[in-house]
Amino acid sequence: MSLWGLISPICKVYVNYRPVKVLPSVVPSARNCRLSDIDWVFIRENSEGEYAGQGGVTHEGQPNAKATDVSIYTAQGVECIMRFAFDTAASRPRKLLTMVTQSNAQRHGLVSWDGNFKRMAAEYTSVKANQMIVDAMTVRMVHRPASLDTIVATNLHSDILTISQLRFQEASELHRLATLIQPAIAFLCLSQFTAVLRASPGWVSRTLLVHSAVQWRCSDG
């Protein structure tokens, strides 16, 4: 069983919290980008979507073989991740939340995703909420990074968008541009790892502690 297969469906860890920040002594490769322009938190839905494990293969090995992967979006799952995202945005100074979607193409699951976001936005009046089609989001991340703060996206979209930042830094040989910390990976101590699997209330603070340690180390150049 994979690590994702263990922590997501079995342990009900539905949030993958991914901070992205320019670290001390690292010059951003994006043109005209200041150090303060990239200080994001990606809230990745961690248990549904394209990684829910729904689908299969029929007539395998035959000319008429058919393979399907089904994206799953439950009302409960979407509401949980949206509420966590709005709570996170409300706790940050800018109180800004961007939701990533592709409901122009995925006309059922992501239309439901959008609808839940809009309903919750009416509840969190202190949060400035906006939404972006995933294609346009990639452009915004590069050309207007300062316009982003807290971002919520589906399992697949968030994974691609955050890992793309890592690839971006590797391509420009800036290996420390972003810190994409996954709690289950960041905690090497068994007791802390167990706490993450139990979804203890302190896992975010522990993640940020690791993040602070990385920042301190990079400040030495």
Mean pLDDT across the chain, nearest whole number?
A: 76
Instruction: List alpha helices for the chain, DSSP H.
Output: 3-5, 75-91, 109-123, 134-143, 155-171, 183-186, 190-197, 203-218
pLDDT tens digits along 103-142? 998 889 999 999 999 999 999 999 999 999 999 998 898 8
Q: What is the mean pLDDT of residues 159-168?
A: 66
pTM above 0.85, yes or no: no
Rounded Cα distance between 98 and 116, Å, is 14
> What pLDDT is attached to residue 24?
67
Domain segments of the chain as ranges: 3-52+62-218
What is the CATH topology of the domain spanning 3-52+62-218? Isopropylmalate Dehydrogenase (3.40.718)
Rounded Cα distance between 193 and 209, Å, is 14
> What pLDDT is attached to residue 192?
35
Residue 101 near residue 131 (C-beta atoms within 8 A): yes
pLDDT tens digits along 167-219? 444 333 333 333 333 443 333 333 333 334 334 455 556 656 666 666 666 66
